[in-house]
Amino acid sequence: MNLDNNEHDIDWDKLIEQLEDGQLPPDMTDAEMAALAAAREVQARLKAGRFSAEDGWQRFTEARDQRKGRIRVLARAAVAAAVVLAAGATWWTFRAQQPVAQLANAQPEEKVMLHLSGGRTVTLGQDSLEIQHNNIARIKARTDHLEYAAGSGQEQVTTMDTLDVPRGRQFSLRLADGTQVWLNAASRLIFPAAFHGATREVTVQGEAFFEVAQQAAQPFIVHAGKTEMKVLGTGFNVNAYNAQTTTTLASGKLLVTAGAAQMVLQPDEQAVLNSNGTLQKQAVEARLFTAWKEGDLFFEDAPLREITVTLARTYDYDFIFDDTDLERMSFTIDIRRPAVLQGVLNQITKSLQTVRFEVDGRTVHVKKQQ
């Protein structure tokens, strides 16, 4: 009987199943029993680290040469099958032992917090709720938005509420005068619950976009670092994450003051207060600086280092460049902001094929592609 005929007596799927669960069904053929025995022996040698394909073949054939005719041919087929099965098992074992690459899919850990002037702190972003702020204001809180409405009291408000938005989050609110404010990640807005004085004044740390409700008799003033912006009805962005404060006008007209320096901005103009105290004006494309408010990621020919600084705030991750040459690589991206960081990393690696990212917890290592 030749080898091919004996191979037809073996149900290989059944053999693999027996290798996995160790049970012996009553209907196994002699050929299947021989192949299974050989495969199990090779499996044991693999686990013990004592398997050599060449030496193993010699030992198996010598041991089975004592058998007669059909069994001797079956033994040769069984050893061949065992080598194939064991090699497959080794490959699967090796694959299972390899660390699974982490993906940057984690959600931010910290929550948005509203600190009321009376000392109460409310965690936002989970359930909708209504907050009674004494007789100063009524507050409606939703998962990503606050709405203030002036209460019955008309006294001058001297204490402030504070909205803290951590890394990885964005939040918006409507102030009591109807002004809409969008806060970017890692930002804070300090504001009164109601406006009853000669001016409407708020303070921003981080980044915010304002659409100011027009009230000519009550100017709206934004403080950011050492810069002050005075408006009547305007849409503008303030970035005050560091010592350099950048104000970008999207619509209307804006007066920007820094110490003794003043300038009036028109749409698509920007005022930059440098760390040395000088105030400069420049023409820009406003959308480049306001896209975040619309839920977009927009970088135009920006260094990868600059992009990762923004992504770190937006998704609550840290970036480490294992190769500093990559920091200066320029990249343009204009996409709808993905829900998780991994979506952005995938977009970057498609365009910059020399870059790869390795995720370790909430840290992303930026490496050169091998």
Domain boundary assignment for the chain: 3-97, 108-197, 202-289, 295-368
Which CATH code is given to the segment(s) 295-368? 3.55.50.30
| The residue type at 247 | T
Please give the model's pTM, rounded to 2 decimal places.
0.72
CA-CA distances (angstroms) from residue 215 to 76, 152, 154, 178, 212?
94, 20, 18, 10, 9
Contact of 303 with 327, CB cutoff 8 Å: yes
Classify domain 202-289 at the CATH class level: mainly beta
> Tens-of-pLDDT digits for all 370 residues of the chain?
344 444 455 665 565 555 555 555 666 676 666 666 666 555 555 555 544 555 555 555 555 555 444 444 444 444 555 555 555 555 445 445 556 678 999 999 999 999 998 889 999 988 888 987 777 788 999 999 999 998 776 666 668 999 999 999 999 999 999 999 999 999 999 999 999 889 999 999 999 999 999 998 899 999 999 999 999 779 999 999 998 999 999 999 999 999 999 999 999 999 999 988 899 999 999 999 999 999 999 999 999 999 999 999 999 999 999 988 999 999 899 999 999 999 999 999 998 889 999 999 999 999 998 7
CB 264 within 8 A of CB 229: no
Judge whether 125 and 107 are in contact, CB under 8 Å.
no
